[in-house]
Structure 1
């Protein structure tokens, strides 16, 4: 089979590696163009771009698939199928039709729940007990295609977006040989999506500020779903501090303290219901650190008000 791979972030790299390790003929990689990154805003190639170059695969970085010349180039590759993983562009119908067997997409949720840009973060933030990875036959809708293969994954109580991304990327990568093998045998059995769709809208930085008026259980999910990026944050002593990890603590009451009040000297913070203890934080301009290390330099005594 002649395969085109389309992907951009770290999440997509294991899928490309799996295809190559199984001997598939990846004739071209499409990825997003280099973007400014880091403090120096230096143009940086995507993780998929860097890996593809190491493996000696030709790489294309079109700004848009809306240009006819870009689709002409895709059609000229005479591909059997395109494997798409977090590419970051909407493909027009002509691009979807270019490979003989169309385009297959790996999506990190159990569709139709969490269609869209941020399914992993939204699943954790919503408190879902399970999510999954699915490969679907792409159509012109947003994650609306028939399901070809599905794996269900439990969301752990200590999962962050980073840990769940890593687990789903590995599981998803292992699904490609099974789907492509079935495709070669003409044994795929597409299944239409059923149920009420929900949408995983792109994370807005305005969502990142911690709202102490929520319950501790909900806030714990919110913080873990935003870790490590963009990172939930609050102000301690008037200075911004990101919260990378916390734990939900059931308590009888908050002793009449306003929400956001420290209930001890070890970062146990009152919420609308119960409390959370901050475990891993990052002051502005400093590296991530444990709560103990933070408190050695910045004491937060009982009664301190966080905002």
Structure 2
């Protein structure tokens, strides 16, 4: 088949690489978001998907919105199927019906759970037992189309959202390729989603704030779900501190009041509603990342409570 691939961030790259590498179908074009300013110098940089497409010599359509102009350019490619993985924009009519087989979407959740922009992050924050990937038919309603394939894996309690998304991106690429092959052979079958949907809007900076009044498991789930983006943080003495790495306190320590810091010789503990956790790496305001133990030793005597 002739495929048009739409995607933008790094987690979409394994799917593009898999479809190109298989060689069973022709990727006739790639749609991605425009170059974005990155780094301190705000240098305009192609998206990871754009860079991968250009490395393969594929035609690239850079569009902030899939408007009439973008639709016309995609129509010229005469696709049989559109494949979308984290493009970052909505596909509406007439583009939705333009390919002969419409569009399919790889989504990183077990649908109908966590429809939206940040499924992995919300799933980890909710401390779900499993993470997953689904391939479904794109429809006008958000992530609501019939599902062709779904798989799930245990939610490893040590994984941050970034690490989990990297794993799911590779596993999801395999699932996506199977569905594309099934559609080409006319053997793929989809079923309606069942169950009550939940939603996963894009996270904001405020979502990264840690509430030490919660239990240790909930605090660590929040930390993992917002790492690396938008990032976990707390405050001390009115100054923001980024929590770059945290883990359960091992060996276990006696209870500490929620938010109370307890610097020890080689580690820093902080209290929650039940068990303490260990801060491993932090980044105080205006400073670089550092070992939490070093940071804890340098705190003034009056600064011993995270807010």
- Cα deviation for residue 272 of structure 1 reads 2.0
User: Is 1:207 matched up with 2:181?
Assistant: no
User: Is 1:50 matched up with 2:56?
Assistant: no
CA distance in 2 between partners of 1:301 and 1:264 (Å): 11
- Cα deviation for residue 287 of structure 1 reads 4.5
- Cα deviation for residue 281 of structure 1 reads 2.1
Deviations 1:30-60 (CA, angstroms, capped at 9, x unpaired): 0001112111122111110111111111101
Deviations 1:168-218 (CA, angstroms, capped at 9, x unpaired): 000011123211111111101101100000000110111222221212111
Deviations 1:81-140 (CA, angstroms, capped at 9, x unpaired): 011000001010211111111101000000000000100100000111102011111111
Counterpart contact for 1:263–1:302, Cα < 8 Å: no
**Partner in structure 1 of residue 26 of structure 2:** 25
Map of 1:229-268 to 2, 5 A cutoff?
229-236=229-236, 238-249=238-249, 253-254=255-256, 257=257, 259-265=258-264, 266-268=267-269
Unaligned runs of 5+ in 1: none
Helix, strand or coil at the partner of 1:206: helix
**Partner in structure 1 of residue 108 of structure 2:** 108
- Cα deviation for residue 283 of structure 1 reads 2.9
Counterpart contact for 2:2–2:79, Cα < 8 Å: yes
**Which one is further off, 232-241 or 264-273?**
232-241
TM-score normalised according to structure 2 size = 0.92
- Cα deviation for residue 294 of structure 1 reads 4.1
**Which one is further off, 119-128 or 235-244?**
235-244
- Cα deviation for residue 149 of structure 1 reads 1.1
CA distance in 2 between partners of 1:247 and 1:233 (Å): 15
CA distance in 2 between partners of 1:179 and 1:306 (Å): 49
**Which one is further off, 149-158 or 282-291?**
282-291
What is the aligned length? 302
- Cα deviation for residue 290 of structure 1 reads 3.6
**Which one is further off, 243-252 or 26-35?**
243-252
Helix, strand or coil at the partner of 1:91: coil
CA distance in 1 between partners of 2:212 and 2:42 (Å): 34
Deviations 1:149-178 (CA, angstroms, capped at 9, x unpaired): 111111101010111011000001112321
Unaligned runs of 5+ in 2: none
Counterpart contact for 1:179–1:188, Cα < 8 Å: yes
User: Is 1:178 matched up with 2:178?
Assistant: yes
TM-score normalised according to structure 1 size = 0.92
**Partner in structure 1 of residue 158 of structure 2:** 158
CA distance in 1 between partners of 2:242 and 2:7 (Å): 29
**Partner in structure 2 of residue 98 of structure 1:** 98
CA distance in 2 between partners of 1:245 and 1:155 (Å): 18
Counterpart contact for 1:29–1:59, Cα < 8 Å: yes
Helix, strand or coil at the partner of 2:262: coil
User: Is 1:40 matched up with 2:41?
Assistant: yes
CA distance in 2 between partners of 1:264 and 1:302 (Å): 13
Counterpart contact for 2:245–2:280, Cα < 8 Å: yes
**Partner in structure 2 of residue 281 of structure 1:** 282
- Cα deviation for residue 29 of structure 1 reads 0.4
Helix, strand or coil at the partner of 2:104: strand
CA distance in 1 between partners of 2:294 and 2:247 (Å): 17
Counterpart contact for 2:263–2:293, Cα < 8 Å: no
CA distance in 1 between partners of 2:118 and 2:203 (Å): 7
CA distance in 2 between partners of 1:13 and 1:235 (Å): 36
* CA-based RMSD: 1.9
**Partner in structure 2 of residue 16 of structure 1:** 16
**Partner in structure 2 of residue 140 of structure 1:** 140
